[in-house]
Copies of this chain bind each other. A is one copy, B any other.
Amino acid sequence: MALIPAGTSTPQIIIDVAQLEKNIDKMAQRVASQGLKLRPHAKTHKMLEVASRQLDAGAVGLTVATVGEALSFALQGVAKIFIAYPLWVNQSQAERILELIKRAKLSIGTDSVQAVEQMARMLGEQASKIRLMIEIDSGHHRSGVSPRDALDIAEAARDAGMRVNGVFTFPGHSYNPDGIDCAVNDEHKALAEATRILREAGFAIKRISGGSTPTAALSDNSVLTEVRPGVYVFGDAQQFELGRTGFDEIALTVAATVVSRHEGDEQIPRRIVVDAGSKILGSDRPSWATGYGRIAECPDARISALSEHHATVLWPENLDLPDYGQQLQVIPNHVCQAVNLVDSVLAVHADGTSELWDVAARGLNY
């Protein structure tokens, strides 16, 4: 983990650039060795500096969640973009999608006949330039249809003069310590069935897209053609507690200062308070997590409570409390939330030099 540069005001997101590059290379090599393409999800980082390293390492394009994110990256020169979201295209989005089509090869998710028809209405003749990806529900039960319902959508697309390029799913139920193997199976089974049904009906399914950071490393090309992990570039406390990354592989931390310390007594817990709260860490805490994030310097410490500008940290009884003013590195539970809370991050290179990187696509929610 990169050291905090002297004089850093806190809370401040710190990127360890050398570790970031290691994480990018490791995933690129693993995915390539499995015969898959990598189309990483850029909602995690929202930064050109990270995207360009992913593309240089062999990623075939970027995945994003919104039209705004897509346009931000396209305007910065990214040439292939997948909006992996079942868009309901309104007038403002249609105008921006037309801009996007001029600049990038664009694929868009859909999970209903109605959304396909809306897209065709709003985009007119240009709709034929969109590569549609049908979203399949592989067990997360969020958006996406069952494999058998994918055919109606593909036929609606053909009727509207639109192109179906493939199918995708997000196995979100992989975000559970006991759920990863099951989610990998569910993902492969659902995508295989949808592909079979669509191919039997004459659709040329080129892309079969799965993945998430927990499942990507377990996937192969027996069914899938590509994966879309996001969090792997930085890692976070969730991935650590899921066993998908090591403490020493984490490339993003939040530098924070000890502002309050209390030895405690029988009634009152022994604790410190650092100045990184939910307004920089995010407040994600799945039921299986051991706290609201972790402390890099002290694996046995736990963040027991989080306010907007305070993290309350229970400190191990056998260790001295850190001093007032000491700076610590907090590992957020969910790194995508942390990055989306700041306009820039402090990227620290292996030689100790540092620079600010813009979170250019921050807050582009539509």
A residues within 8 Å of B by Cβ? Answer: 7, 9-12, 43, 65-66, 85-88, 90-93, 111-112, 114-115, 118, 137, 141-145, 172, 257-262, 268-269, 271, 273, 275, 278-280, 282-284, 305, 307-310, 312, 324-325, 334, 336-337, 340-343, 363, 365-366
Would you give the shortest CB distance from A328 to chain B, in whole angstroms?
12
Contacts of A275 in B (CB 8 A): 85, 88, 366
Contacts of A307 in B (CB 8 A): 142, 172
> Known contacts A142-B273, A283-B284: does B325 contact A342 (CB below 8 Å)?
no
How far is A85 from B279 in the complex, measured between Cα atoms in Å? 14
> Known contacts A143-B273, A279-B337: does B260 contact A112 (CB below 8 Å)?
yes
Known: A90-B325, A141-B262. 15 other contacts (CB 8 A): A7-B91, A9-B366, A11-B365, A43-B309, A85-B259, A88-B275, A114-B324, A142-B312, A143-B260, A143-B310, A144-B260, A279-B365, A280-B365, A283-B334, A309-B365
User: Can you spell out 12 A-B residue pairs with CB atoms less than 8 angstroms apart?
Assistant: A7-B92, A9-B90, A9-B92, A9-B93, A11-B366, A86-B260, A86-B273, A87-B259, A90-B325, A114-B325, A115-B324, A279-B337
How far is A341 from B308 in the complex, measured between Cα atoms in Å? 13
> Known contacts A112-B261, A142-B312, A260-B111: does B88 contact A366 (CB below 8 Å)?
no
How far is A307 from B66 in the complex, measured between Cα atoms in Å? 13
**CB closest residue in chain B, given A282:** B283
Please state if B366 and A279 are interface contacts (CB–CB under 8 Å): no
Please state if A308 and B336 are interface contacts (CB–CB under 8 Å): yes
How far is A336 from B279 in the complex, measured between Cα atoms in Å? 9
Contacts of A11 in B (CB 8 A): 365-366
Please state if A309 and B66 are interface contacts (CB–CB under 8 Å): yes
Select which of B86, B271, B279, B308 is within 8 A of A259 by beta carbon: B86
> Known contacts A92-B9, A324-B115, A363-B342: does B284 contact A337 (CB below 8 Å)?
no
Q: Which 10 A-B pairs have the closest CB atoms?
A: A143-B260, A114-B324, A9-B366, A9-B92, A65-B309, A88-B259, A143-B273, A283-B284, A88-B325, A86-B259
Contacts of A112 in B (CB 8 A): 260-261, 324
Contacts of A9 in B (CB 8 A): 90, 92-93, 366
Contacts of A283 in B (CB 8 A): 282-284, 334, 337
Please state if B343 and A363 are interface contacts (CB–CB under 8 Å): yes
